[in-house]
Amino acid sequence: MVSTLLSSKNFTNVQDVKDINGLVQLALQMKAKKKKSKIGADKRIGLIFLNPSMRTRISSQIAAKNLGLDIIVLNLEKDSWLLEFNETAIMNGSTVEHIKDAAPILGEYFDLLGIRTFPTLKNKDEDYKELVLQQLIKYSKLPIISLESATLHPLQSLADIITIQEHFSLKRKPKVVLTWAPHIKPLPQCVANSFAQWMNRWNGADFVITHPKGYELSEVYTQNAQIVYDQKTALDNADFIYVKNWSSYNNYGQMPPVEADWMLQLNKLPNNPKVKIMHCLPVRRNIELSSEVLDSNHCITTEQAKNRVWAAQSVMHEILKQIQK
Amino acid sequence: MVSTLLSSKNFTNVQDVKDINGLVQLALQMKAKKKKSKIGADKRIGLIFLNPSMRTRISSQIAAKNLGLDIIVLNLEKDSWLLEFNETAIMNGSTVEHIKDAAPILGEYFDLLGIRTFPTLKNKDEDYKELVLQQLIKYSKLPIISLESATLHPLQSLADIITIQEHFSLKRKPKVVLTWAPHIKPLPQCVANSFAQWMNRWNGADFVITHPKGYELSEVYTQNAQIVYDQKTALDNADFIYVKNWSSYNNYGQMPPVEADWMLQLNKLPNNPKVKIMHCLPVRRNIELSSEVLDSNHCITTEQAKNRVWAAQSVMHEILKQIQK
Amino acid sequence: MVSTLLSSKNFTNVQDVKDINGLVQLALQMKAKKKKSKIGADKRIGLIFLNPSMRTRISSQIAAKNLGLDIIVLNLEKDSWLLEFNETAIMNGSTVEHIKDAAPILGEYFDLLGIRTFPTLKNKDEDYKELVLQQLIKYSKLPIISLESATLHPLQSLADIITIQEHFSLKRKPKVVLTWAPHIKPLPQCVANSFAQWMNRWNGADFVITHPKGYELSEVYTQNAQIVYDQKTALDNADFIYVKNWSSYNNYGQMPPVEADWMLQLNKLPNNPKVKIMHCLPVRRNIELSSEVLDSNHCITTEQAKNRVWAAQSVMHEILKQIQK
């Protein structure tokens, strides 16, 4: 068994990581060009997008290219290739191919796969089973990297921790607050679930979650994190504020009414001139948070997005180590 | 004239092949990595898709990359670029560019082209004239590889023969049966036409076609092949069963009613433990054939799809030989 | 400051060019393979398409590849990524990301960008402000190449001048006529504006514009060009006739009725056996000009399209010179 920072040949959630800090360090070395590798030469990655993407699409291509991988991007958006996942389906409807028939062929064509899926936000059980991801792993037999799934977004979370590391140098742990934000339509819980999961496992920060009643996340991800329903109290003394909307987990995919004003604005920032504001983007200005906050030097969203490259590159590197001949 | 396994600079049907067994051997050598070539270095292929594709899209990119070709994929699906083919058209309708104006420019930008087209299934004469393919050949002046056309799918057929060769080692000829299968909507005759055409020309098998009355294929392709209307009789002693739906050729594009049960199931397989089941995919499970058959070790559909790479690579290689300076 | 043929790190209109003839010569040297350069090695270009494109898409990829650039193509057509440009927007509508948030990230991922935009043809002020282009320049901080914008198409105009140079060897200046042509729907003024702007600045031809009353272009681009409302008079003694439709600038985006027959046909060509007919393509046959003209040896549209590669390559080369470390 090759020594690697992962505990799996897949990267679909934090459980697949053996050493978060090691992965962060590898990413930072790659970013500083102190670590170069063409470990992917003579290997091919398929990047499958079942829904649109900008940052993930570009950053994963750059990461793969940096490692010498050959890349084929498959855009399966817009109903061009509706897959069947039901084991006993009589396929007389809209699905045109069963994952059991499609995945083994991807397994022949590629050495590893990245896939971007999304939740229904209607069927909680189905979404949280991560059917697409799990069946792709099962039937392709390839290493699979999640480029965001129905319920998690681990490459985003790794990039977030890299960014926190870069922006905090005090000896104490930073206080990191994940705050719910308003939105005009129901969004997945992926980024919030994943950030909570990684913060808990990382244990490099004092982690607080704040959201209105009705927007509780699954305890599978929040675990022992401190949950504070009053945003002002939660933000007190924060070093990092991660702003993100999500729809209800309990009342699945719904948007229970919220009376208080949850949009982050400058006057709500804690009395900490160095407080950093994070968001995975895209962000709806003056809905999720104010333009003033986004345009201020508290905002590090561009740095987060940039680190998506090094997060993807470090993960691909550790997977490629495991499949070298 | 360079010595080549093709009799044409194009690859659009079996008539363009001089030596089928030679092409199969070249493909198998490439697959075994005994034959490597970067004959495409400094050349560029355009892969044009007028309709969606998964296996063809990936396998042709891999083949081109293996040969060192630069690749540009053009997705012209979804009405983004409606071409006019009528020589005397007054273009005041939905078509935005005439093939006579577009093709010469492709001829300047590329060294060879692959194109995927599809039939109307409404106008038999137009479909069987292969207007798109023929006009592209005429006006681009480039070598053209069919990535499936209105009426044929030669790269699939070549991959199919490669797969049959790999899975049969007895001294006698294998018995190969092409059987019609049910479907929920009318499909092209391409794969069936092409498989029949290649089997007849190859002459490496005892070839039988079975289908319900009303689903006769054009005799241009079936030629002297044995046609049996009773599926059970046809399948007797088969070594390979190729399952595929097609719509009616005579009652063009229609689906005449079929009373008997034509879906292939385990209990219909001949008494031959080594019988292999083939299908070009995508397949509708439990409509065209049963899940039990697809999940059994009789099924070699993944091997067929894998061989699409080596079929494409051997064909591109033989075309590139002809255009070397 | 590096010596360059451009006066800007961007290429969005003729004002960005210091030496048109120098740029034409560089392009012709590249075309003749007398000038090869991999100046783009270790750099990455993003090619962003907000609407469909065939020639621009392929020629810019070839040019970038020739220079050794890594290329990522982003298709943002069909509403997959609606950007907000209003500085004070409350983003509760259809736009999902503000250019202020998206562009800096492109700035991190790429070394230069090409972008294809298009006009509304409804809001003249907005179109002529070139909001998308200008905000991308402002917020990405990268060099930007226009792959056609709301009001101009400078790579087309450069290719047009290259083509004129190649096809005229007399000592006098050629007479070049830009003639309006009919169409079935309102088209942008881009190609006409840009061609006029380049011809005026180039000063290598006697330049005449002819169009029906009501189709006057902006004087910002036509400047002192001779404008003749009678097509026959205008075409007299022409060496080059550039045929192109555009919608009204003054009655913005409209198609004021035209009584005379403006479609170019063989019998309207001037008494000059060497007269060349140009069009940027795609062209609607027998609407904009007759098939006979397009099929005659007067027609040099394929040469124009081919020169798009060398136009793009010379421009990218001059920009890359400025960002070498």
Does pLDDT of B223 surpass 90?
A: yes
A210 phi/psi in degrees, rounded to 5: -130, 135
B82: pLDDT confidence band, cut at 50, 70 and 90? confident
Q: Do B294 and A100 touch (CB under 8 A)?
A: yes
Checking if the pLDDT of B1 tops 70, the result is no
Q: What is the mean pLDDT of residues A251-271?
A: 97
Pick from B46, B72, B98: which is nearest to C285 by CB?
A: B98
pLDDT in tens, B195-220: 999 999 998 999 999 999 999 999 99
User: Minimal Cα–Cα distance from A147 to chain B, Å?
Assistant: 20
Does residue A285 carry a pLDDT above 90?
yes
Note whether B91 contacts C57, CB cutoff 8 Å: no
CA of C291: which chain B residue's CA is closest? B88
Note whether A263 contacts C: Cβ–Cβ < 8 A: no
Portion 166-205 of B in contact with A at CB < 8 A: 184
Distances (CA, A) of C259 to C208, C213, C256: 21, 10, 10
**pLDDT band at residue B90 under the 50/70/90 scheme:** very high
Question: What's the pLDDT score for residue B3?
Answer: 84
Q: From CA B63, how far away is CA A203, in angstroms rounded? A: 47
Residue in C closest to A57 by C-alpha: C74
> Helix or strand or coil: residue B63?
helix
Instruction: Give the closest-approach CA distance of A319 to chain B in angstroms.
Output: 22
Q: Give how far Cα C196 sits from Cα of C5, C165, C185, C221, C223, Å.
A: 20, 16, 22, 6, 8
Taking alpha carbons only, the member of B53, B43, B5, B31 closest to residue B313 is B31
Which residues 61-100 in chain A show a CB within 8 A of chain C? Answer: 61-62, 65, 77
pLDDT at C78: 57
- The matching CATH number, chosen from 3.40.50.620, 3.40.250.10, 3.40.50.1370, 3.40.47.40, for C168-299 is 3.40.50.1370
Closest residue, chain A, to B290 (C-alpha)? A90
For an interface test with C, give the residue of B78, B109, B115 to mutate (most C CBs within 10 A): B109
Q: For the residues of B279-320, what is the DSSP string, one character each?
A: --S---BTTTB-HHHHHSTTB-HHHHHHHHHHHHHHHHHHHH
- From CA C231, how far away is CA B39, in angstroms rounded? 52
| Mean pLDDT in residue range A126-138 | 95
Among chain A residues, CA nearest to B292: A88
Which residues of chain B make contact with C243, given a CB cutoff of 8 A?
Answer: none
Q: Neighbours of C (≥3 Cβ pairs closer than 8 A)? A: A, B
Q: State the smallest CA–CA distance between residue B143 and chain A in angstroms.
A: 24
- Share of residues in chain A with pLDDT > 70 (%): 98
Q: How confident is the model at residue A1 (pLDDT cuts 50, 70, 90)?
A: low
Give how far C190 is from chain B: nearest CA, Å: 18
Q: Is A209 near chain B, with CB under 8 Å? A: no
Quick: pLDDT tens for B154-192: 999 999 999 999 999 999 999 999 999 999 999 999 999
Q: Does the pLDDT of residue A177 top 90, yes or no? A: yes
Cβ–Cβ gap C286/B101 under 8 Å:
no
- The answer to whether the Cβ–Cβ distance between B90 and C184 falls below 8 Å is no
H-helix or E-strand spanning residue B71:
strand B70-75
Q: Indicate if the pLDDT at residue B56 is higher than 90.
A: yes
Burial classification of residue B134, based on how many CB atoms lie within 10 Å of its CB (0-12 exposed, 13-18 middle, 19 or more buried) = middle
Residue B263 is encoded by which pair of tokens?
């879906």
Contact A319, A182 (CB under 8 A): no
Residues of chain B with CATH 3.40.50.1370: 14-152+307-322, 168-299
Contacts of A113 in chain B (CB under 8 A): none
In whole angstroms, give the CA distance from residue B215 to residue B252. 10
B270-295, pLDDT tens digit by residue? 999 999 999 999 999 999 999 999 99
pLDDT value at position B53?
Answer: 85
Give the burial class of B68: count Cβ atoms within 10 A of its Cβ; 0-12 exposed, 13-18 middle, 19 or more buried.
Answer: middle
Contact C210, C229 (CB under 8 A): yes
Per the model's pLDDT, the better-predicted residue between A88 and A207 turns out to be A207
Over chain C (325 residues), what is each successive 10-residue block's mean pLDDT?
89 98 97 93 94 91 98 77 85 90 96 96 96 95 97 98 97 97 97 98 96 98 96 98 98 96 97 97 96 97 98 98 90
Residues of chain A above pLDDT 90, percent: 89
Report yes or no on whether pTM surpasses 0.90. Answer: yes
CATH 3.40.50.1370 spans which residues of chain C? 14-152+308-322, 168-299
C283 and C289 Cβ atoms separated by less than 8 Å: yes
How far CA B126 is from CA of B77, B112, B263, in Å, comes to 20, 25, 31
Q: Does C222 touch chain B (CB under 8 A)?
A: no
Chain B partners within 8 Å of C280 (Cβ) = none
Q: Which residues on adjacent β-strands are paired with residue C14?
A: none
The topology under which CATH files domain B14-152+307-322 is Rossmann fold (3.40.50)
Counting as contact any 3 or more CB pairs under 8 A, the partners of A are B, C
CA distance A2 to chain C (A): 31
Class of domain C14-152+308-322: alpha beta
DSSP class of residue C218?
A: P
